[in-house]
Structure 1
Amino acid sequence: METYRASDAKREFGELLLKSQSGPVSVTRNGKPVAVVLSETEYQSLKLNALRAALTEGEQSGFEQGLSADGVKAIARQRLQK
């Protein structure tokens, strides 16, 4: 992963955005990591994977409690909206 110092990221923001399209870019301040910039596509993929994992876990848990798949999904949607 490429790393930018915060001052460089500010000065070269356009370049940082371009580089984030091909992979995450770390931003540091005083030598410590403070942020990661990633493309919208990568961000949406991470969100989708997290949602899938939560649904799978919820379905397994919900079935143990006697909930239907639709009931589990409704609960997951409510939690995502919060």
Structure 2
Amino acid sequence: MKSIAAREAKNRFGVLMDTAQREPVAIEKHGRAVAVMMSVEEYRKIKMERLHAEVHAGLDQLDTGASTLFDQTELKDLFEGIKVRGRAHRNAGV
């Protein structure tokens, strides 16, 4: 991963965006990485991988009986919350 100083990132933002389309770029302040800029595609890929991992972990819990039992109302509320978050992500272009 390439690194760039925050001041340089500010002054060369266009170059930073172009570079981030090819690979993630760490932005450093006082020699310490404080942020990463990456392409939207890479961000979406990471988010999807995390979601898959969480789903598989939940399925493993179900298989081993280690899951928390929810009543129907709690499941409905959970599902509605997931739908709302999904719509918010889509509307934000994430």
Q: Shorter-normalised TM-score: what interval?
A: 0.7 to 0.9
TM-score (norm 1): 0.79
Distance 1:8 1:25, change over 3 A: same
Equivalent residue number for residue 48 of structure 1: 48
How far the C-alpha of 1:52 sits from its partner, in A, is 0.3
Q: 2:68 and 2:10 mapped to 1: Cα distance?
A: 53
Equivalent residue number for residue 91 of structure 2: none
For 1:1-82, list aligned pairs within 5 A: 1-63=1-63, 64=65, 65=67, 78=81, 81=85
How far the C-alpha of 1:79 sits from its partner, in A, is 5.8
Q: 2:53 and 2:79 mapped to 1: Cα distance?
A: 11
Distance 1:76 1:12, change over 3 A: farther
Contact 1:55-1:76 within 8 A present in 2 as well: no
Query: What residue ranges of structure 2 are gaps of 5+ in the alignment?
Result: 70-74, 86-94
Distance 1:52 1:13, change over 3 A: same
How far the C-alpha of 1:60 sits from its partner, in A, is 1.1
- 1:14-36 deviation per Cα after TM superposition (whole angstroms, max 9, x unaligned): 10000001110010001111000
Distance 1:5 1:35, change over 3 A: same
Give percent identity, aligned residues only: 29
Distance 1:51 1:16, change over 3 A: same
